[in-house]
Amino acid sequence: MRLIRERVRDLARGLVSLTVAKRAPSYRGLVPASMVASRAAHGASKKSGTNCEILLRRALRAQGLVFTVNVASLPGCPDIVFSRARLIVFCDGDFWHGRRLDARVRRLSRGHNAAYWISKIRANVRRDTKNRRTLRELGWQLLRLWESEIKADPERAAERIRRFLGKRKAKERKGR
């Protein structure tokens, strides 16, 4: 604890500086306000069961569709999986997954810890691209729905998925 206090003091005096990794985001050298604050921040960032996921799942169930959620055995741990139809649905947050990336980068560049956040979001986008490529190679079809689209009209998003599933069934019947 003493080392942390000394490090914070040195930072405040300008004796040392924080370096931001250009390659991968890192919190190295940053000291949380407190362990309680740090735990609260980590806990507030949901990985699954987000509002948009819940809204979409309710709308899908209302249409009588059956699916699996958060399949950890697949790359990217997809939010919604229709195994028989080989369809995966990602409910991606606009911020974390880089919707309108160029505009987002411009806004982030004006904020605090800009290099970290830009690097973090770009790394997320690269990871998402890699996961999508791997899933396609494994024979999965993918739909990516943005958080803002789902929140604006969950029934419309569910209908889009239902139509996609209907097209897949029609193709399967033709192939028999």
Structural contact between residues 164 and 80, judged by C-beta atoms closer than 8 angstroms: no
39, 50 contact by CB (below 8 A): no
Q: Which range has highest mean pLDDT (103-112, 113-122, 142-151, 167-176)?
A: 142-151
pLDDT in tens, 134-161: 999 999 999 999 999 999 999 999 999 9
Cβ–Cβ under 8 Å, residues 91 and 145: yes
Cα dihedral value 65, 66, 69, 75, nearest 10: -90
Tokens matching residue 158: 């569910």
- Domains defined for the chain, CATH in brackets: 1-45 (no CATH), 47-175 (3.40.960.10)
Check pLDDT > 60 for residue 165.
yes
* Backbone φ and ψ of 95, nearest 5°: -70, -55
Q: What average pLDDT does this structure show over 36-65?
A: 79
Using 50, 70 and 90 to split pLDDT, how confident is the model at 21?
very low
| 86-105 tens-digit pLDDT | 999 999 988 888 888 888 88
Place of tokens 């690269």: 126
pLDDT higher than threshold 80 for residue 46: no
CB 135 within 8 A of CB 88: yes
